[in-house]
Amino acid sequence: MIRVGATPVGLGFAVAIWLLGQFLGQLADPPAPDRPVEADALPRSADSAGSGGRIAQLAVDRGRRGDVTTGTVWHVGDRAWLSNRHVLERCATHELHTQTPAEVERLWAHPDADLAAVRTASTEAAVGLAGRAPERGSRAYAIGYPQGEPGIAELSLRSEGRMQLTGALSSDEPFRYKVWSVRSLPDHVATTQGLGGISGGTVINDNGEAIGTVFGGNNRRGTLFTIPYAEVRAAADALTEARLAGGPGAIDDPRDYAERVLASDRVARVLCRY
């Protein structure tokens, strides 16, 4: 479970953080287990935290032996799949649900942000990365496995903030995150159910290019939170040897393209067994 607290900065912000805690308890994928990732951490990106401003805190509990949790991963290239620390870290075993079964090995975890990766023997096409970060108001699509089923949520970029991990996945420094308004939900997801399971999924722009990774959200306010483009790009650059491809360019129907990405095994469901 993920809970949220904040530094004392006034009643209005305290209420906002309380509401934040309500949504993260509903949306967040299950807790992280006890084993550390057996890999080196990625370096922080140049604009990882910045300075000043308010900082929300994410408290991630440990999982229990016997628990099985679900999340989403997406192929960034060279057999590397990006997701969240709270989805991938400390699992005894991973199961990647793709058309061709493949062994999963731990790769790395970001030192601060809720971002991590595994590697498999898969040679499926990757999700291309954008050449720049999205601007406020930009439309995008979150792709993953909410409620354990493939689904796409249409988004609009609202704002950004800073968070810091505490508890089982503590970090030394806060990290930036993006706040997206949810414009439409997958057909199988009711508003009250939330989007649990989409954590770790990719967010693509109108050109079909990855611009972020989902890690949380607020059901009541209709928002999703993502690891921003700069962190995702830095991770992809560090993990892949080949030149990273972009998306297909301007596409007539981004939602249709997102569905094809799901069907092509470039975005997959992952199970974590403790």
Tens-place pLDDT, residues 86-133: 898 878 788 888 877 677 888 888 988 999 999 987 667 899 999 999
> Closest Cα to residue 159, out of 181, 131, 182?
181
Report the C-alpha gap between 129 and 98 in whole angstroms. 21
Report the C-alpha gap between 71 and 96 in whole angstroms. 10
Number of other residues whose CB lies within 10 A of the CB of residue 245 = 14
pLDDT in tens, 203-215: 999 999 999 999 9
Structural domain boundaries in the chain? 1-274
Q: What percent of the chain has pLDDT over 70?
A: 74
Structure tokens at 167: 């508890």
pLDDT for 192 equals: 57
Place 252 in a pLDDT band, splitting at 50, 70 and 90: confident
pLDDT mean over 23-44? 40
| Average model confidence (pLDDT) across the chain | 78
Q: Which residue has the higher pLDDT, 90 or 78?
A: 78
Q: What type of residue sits at position 231? A: E
Instruction: Answer yes or no: is pLDDT of 173 > 90.
Output: no
Number of other residues whose CB lies within 10 A of the CB of residue 101 = 12
Its sign, for the CA torsion 238, 241, 243, 244, is: negative
pLDDT in tens, 39-55: 445 555 555 554 445 77
> Closest Cα to residue 272, out of 99, 24, 73, 60?
73
Q: What is the pTM of this model?
A: 0.79
Structure tokens at 132: 């720049």
* Angle 141-125-80 from CA coordinates, rounded to 5°: 85
Place 2 in a pLDDT band, splitting at 50, 70 and 90: very low
Report the C-alpha gap between 189 and 146 in whole angstroms. 7
In the chain, the N- to C-terminal Cα span, in Å, equals 15
Please identify, in words, the CATH class of the domain defined by 1-274. Answer: mainly beta
pLDDT for 244 equals: 72
Structure tokens at 57: 């805190």
> Closest Cα to residue 25, out of 217, 177, 188, 224?
217
Query: 38, exposed or middle or buried, with CB in 10 Å at 0-12, 13-18, 19+?
Result: exposed
Report the C-alpha gap between 274 and 269 in whole angstroms. 17
Place 26 in a pLDDT band, splitting at 50, 70 and 90: very low
